[in-house]
Amino acid sequence: MSITTPRFTDKVAFVTGGAGGIGRATALAYAAEGARVAVADLPGAGHQETASMITTAGGTATAIDLDVSDAAQVVAALDQVVSTWGRLDVAFNNAGLEQTQTLTADLDDAEFDRIMSVDVRGVYLCVKHEIRHMKATGGGAIVNTSSGAGVMGISGQAAYAAAKHAVIGLSKSTALEYVGDGIRVNVVAPGMIDTKMIERLTGGTDDGYADVIAQEPIGRLGKPEEIASAVLWLTSDDGGFAVGHTLVVDGGQTIG
Ligand code: NAD
């Protein structure tokens, strides 16, 4: 018999895109294993509710309004976390936007910039300032959210795929730069996960869901909790030898 010990007792976790889906599931999972959790998202997105779910269950959480594409807001959010709880141990840079299905020659330039500003610049800004705080307290662990679209091309998704490939390049490079400081940077690449993002992509129709599920050899959508458990592994001591790794959790979608 083994007794499971919470892996994040006394740790401080920062989760972006924490209002729902993968971010909320991960924030709840960190809290369930003892972490104090700062749940960040756009104003009005619903991250206050995630924080309330944690505190109602007896955990410690705070909700922070944050647009990850805005450098000053990222700095202020992380300063708030560290001034409140004294440190930052783990960060999940998960906020992201999907692309409307469009062939590249028809893609609006503003749409390209919108995707890049959140899915790449937002991750870059968070990593940059998280590292500063983690270095000050002797280390930490970061996971950035890529996608199946980060490891393969998808027709009609050039901007999103470019952004999610960029997350992997950014993460591998920063992993090399800071592993000597005790900071591990890794990536999770989810397949099709049952969240609001997929609801928007499918239009919420049975046919839409059937099309998406058809891309999944496992024959179903993933659950947000199945990504959360991968993120917790990567950021815990259990994953202590994983550096610059992209953990694909995708029901077989990208096997090829
Ligand atoms: P979601 O739409 O529920 O979550 C995305 C969150 O990001 C939302 O809460 C949204 O408000 C937040 N967000 C958007 N722009 C932001 C900004 N500028 N600043 C701060 N927060 C912002 O969908 P999800 O599926 O939980 O997505 C989470 C991550 O997983 C995204 O990066 C997404 O690209 C990635 N992903 C999702 C799937 C999937 O099938 N659901 C697959 C692969 C990758």
- Does any domain span residue 198? no
Q: What CATH number does the domain containing 40 carry? A: 3.40.50.720
Q: Is 221 in the pocket of ligand 1 (CB under 6 A)?
A: no
Q: Does 219 fall in a domain? A: no
* CB-based contact 12:36 (threshold 8 Å): yes
Give a yes or no: residue 135 inside a domain: yes
Note the pLDDT of residue 2.
61
C-alpha torsion angle, residues 146, 147, 150, 153 (rounded to 10): -160
Residue 181: inside a domain:
yes
Instruction: State both tokens at 166.
Output: 């960029």
Instruction: Say how far apart CA 218 and CA 101 lie, in whole Å.
Output: 24
Does the residue 77 lie in any domain? yes
In order of 42, 56, 141, the CA distances from 52 in angstroms are: 16, 6, 25
- Position 7 in a domain: no
- Which residue, chain included where needed, has tokens 């944050």? 66
The pTM assigned to this predicted structure is 0.98
3-class secondary-structure state, position 40: strand
Of these residues, 30, 124, 160, 209, which one is catalytic?
Answer: 160
DSSP SS3 for 228: helix
pLDDT tens track of the chain, all 256 residues? 666 789 999 999 999 999 999 999 999 999 999 999 999 999 999 999 999 999 999 999 999 999 999 999 999 999 999 999 999 999 999 999 999 999 999 999 999 999 999 999 999 999 999 999 999 999 999 999 999 999 999 999 999 999 999 999 999 999 999 999 999 999 999 999 999 999 999 999 999 999 999 999 999 999 999 999 999 999 999 999 999 999 999 999 999 8
**CB neighbour list of residue 38: distance below 8 Å, 6 or more residues apart:** 12, 13, 14, 15, 61, 62, 63, 64, 77, 80, 81, 84, 85
Q: Give phi and psi for 9, each to the nearest 5.
A: -55, 130
What tokens appear for 42 in the block?
């756009």
Residue 201 domain flag = no
Domain containing 137: what range? Answer: 12-192+225-249
Q: Which atom of ligand 1 is nearest to the CA of 95?
A: 7
**Shortest-distance Cα residue to atom 34 of ligand 1:** 96
The 10s digit of each residue's pLDDT in 121-149 is 999 999 999 999 999 999 999 999 999 99
Whether 1 maps to a domain, the answer reads no
In short, whether 185's Cβ falls inside 6 Å of ligand 1 is no
Residue among 197, 202, 225 whose CB has most ligand 1 atoms within 8 A, to mutate:
197
Q: Distance between CA atoms of 37 and 166, rounded to whole angstroms?
A: 27
How large is the C-alpha radius of gyration of the chain?
17
Amino acid code (one letter) for 188: V
Ligand 1 pocket member 150 (CB < 6 A): no
**Predicted local confidence at residue 251, as pLDDT:** 98
Please confirm, yes or no, whether 160 is among the known catalytic residues: yes
- For the chain, the domain total comes to 1
Spacing, Cα 23 to ligand 1 middle (Å): 7
Ligand 1 atom with minimal separation from the 194 CA: 41
- Best residue among 22, 145, 188 to mutate for probing ligand 1's pocket (most ligand atoms within 8 Å of CB) is 22
Integer Cα distance of 220 and 142 in angstroms: 28
